[in-house]
Chains A and B, each alone.
Chain A
Amino acid sequence: MNAVLKVYKWELLKLRAQKRTYLGLGAAVLVPIAFVVALSLQKGGPNDIPLGRYIRDTGLALPFVVLFFMSFWAFPLITALVAGDVVASESHNNTLKTILTRSRDRGQVFAGKALAALTYTVLVVVAMATVGLIAASIKWGFKPLTSLSGTKVAAGQGVVLLVASLAVYVLPLAGIACFGLLLSTVTRNSAASVVGTLMFALLMQLIGALPGTEPIRPYLLSTQFSAWHGFLRTPADWEPVIRAFWVCALYVAAPLAGAYLVFLRRDVAGE
């Protein structure tokens, strides 16, 4: 375990030293600020999306609204930016041979990389929500939130709901991250992995939007991005939340296992 933690630590330090890390993180932080600025300058609002109507009532509503908007391609892209690169960049720099000829087994190296990619995914979502909450609260105040059922939720309770919502929201992103990790491992090409991962996320949405796909919609990765709605109902609706857990577990496990096996067995030759 210590060995995996050492690898994980260095994966995070490597992310800290790379520009693309800040590209994604910067975007995640700028989007909620842009929302606050735009809504301050205009009268209209995103009235037809969950909690959009209450966005000027309390700073608590904004992070939820941005979660909705960023689920289409922004968060999938930011996630793919790092997850799709985390193994492929080693191929690009030819450094896989450097780290695989030390005293860490391939499985440990892979585990450290997967953990780092997932950490980044969690980090960008938390960063967006935190910045959004602070910026919007400065503008509109930290007041009680109106739930999706129309009931008032105290501001403190609203924060708890936000944290719970973020926890469920990162599950489908973890699925996307693991798909990115698989492409990164298999293609050894960063650009192909990032684009491929985004295509995968968009394809899920496309399938969900096609007529006649209703029976499979609950099991699509894209559907799980709205599982947090369950928390904002009174009483809480646990069904979408529980489904998000097991559906995303499958979307995480399958590509992760595939990537692991490929990484374990692959030939590290001139790339």
Chain B
Amino acid sequence: MTDEHPVSGRGLVKRYGEIVAVDHVDLTVEAGDVFGYLGPNGAGKTTSLRMMLGLIRPTEGYVRLFGLDPLVDGARALDGVAGFVEGPAFYPYLSGRRNLQLLADYDGGAARARIDEVLDLVELCDRAKDKVGGYSHGMRQRLGIAASLLRAPRLLLLDEPTTGLDPAGMRDMRALVKRLAGEGITVLLSSHLLSEVEELCNRVAIIRSGRIVFSGPLADLMATAGTGYRMRTTDLARANAVCLAHAGIQDVSSDDGELRFSADEDAVAGLSIALAEAGVGIVALLPESASLEELFLGLTEGDEPPAPEPSLAEAAA
């Protein structure tokens, strides 16, 4: 079977002596994804990205980029792949443009012809002549994106691209990522910012202490939270009785004239019919999703990484 996914990591392990930085990570990024690699600081995101880019050797397992392994196929495996880990780094004593010229020569092909275009895209044209040593963090971050785009990538691997940027810089960076994704570039971005992932990504993997605790579509992650509902009816007492009697309706409580419960969508549909049959009118029925933040904290906090639930494992598979 050929595996031509933009990224496919299998059984990735990275140990530093006693410390297991990455622990049996499986990761698949599909073409067109904006894939969020989410986890608290120190969870193993950057180490994973380093393995993807061939910068460090996995202790076990492998990564393939469009079917090629950076450790086996060398620089050829990075054809069509660009990105940076832990913030882009450049030669401080060379200008922004000189740095890009150097990297374009390292890329070969038509990369040199793209320098002006990418500088324009990240709005660095007027500072391109200055030495990178004098650049702000945000400018370096933008130059990092420019350097990545020189390679005309099909896959971008970005390690916390908005970290350290001011709010306007973050907004611009996110707009840029959206725009690139809109042009068909597959993006994997690591982040510890939930709002960022929620805004940009269609699929996520959550890593905690080196292990993937969730992987799948963002919508699935939201669904696994078990959705809560708020309901107002024409008859609180009878509605309460119907809810308590109905299968699949849990955690029923009443508060301020409202009923609250948790249930999956099928049970809620059944409940509405049961209420109608009991002569209770529904005035309002509102789903109350747990925020991504609650989910994230639930998955990444606590003493031990939770064993993946069946539904999570399914999503990961």
Contact = CB atoms under 8 A, between A and B. Distances in A.
A266 B35 CA distance: 28
Interface string A1-20: 00100110110011001100
Contacts of A267: 50, 55-57
Interface string B138-152: 000000000100010
Given A265-B57, A269-B55, A9 B105 contact: yes
Nearest to B78: A101
A209 to B, nearest CB: 40
Contacts of A98: 84, 88-90, 103, 147
B105 A17 contact: no
Contact of A268 (B56, B92, B103): B56
Contacts of A10: 102, 105-106
B3 interface: no
B151 A102 contact: yes
Contacts of B177: none
Contacts of A270: 46, 86
A95 B84 contact: no
Contact of A102 (B55, B75, B86, B89): B75
Interface in A86-114: 93-95, 97-106
Nearest to B71: A265
A98 B98 CA distance: 14
Contact of B106 (A14, A97, A102): A102
Given A94-B89, A95-B90, A97-B84, A104 B56 contact: no
B188 to A, nearest CB: 14
Between B50, B57, B74, B102, the greatest number of chain A beta carbons within 10 A of the residue's beta carbon is seen for B102
Interface in A250-268: 265, 267-268
A93 B140 CA distance: 13
B79 A93 contact: no
Given A94-B89, A267-B56, A102 B50 contact: no
Nearest to A109: B106
Contacts of B108: 3, 6, 103
Nearest to A267: B56
B213 interface: no
Given A105-B74, A105-B75, A100 B105 contact: no
A95 B79 contact: no
A99 B106 contact: yes
Interface in B180-206: none
B68 interface: no
B54 interface: yes
22 contacts: A3-B108, A6-B108, A13-B102, A14-B93, A17-B93, A93-B90, A93-B92, A94-B86, A97-B53, A98-B84, A98-B89, A99-B103, A102-B78, A103-B79, A103-B108, A104-B106, A105-B75, A106-B74, A268-B56, A269-B47, A269-B55, A269-B56
9 closest A-B pairs by CB: A102-B106, A94-B89, A267-B56, A268-B55, A105-B74, A6-B105, A105-B75, A17-B93, A103-B107
Given A3-B108, A14-B94, A17-B94, 7 more contacts: A13-B102, A97-B89, A99-B106, A101-B83, A104-B75, A267-B55, A269-B56
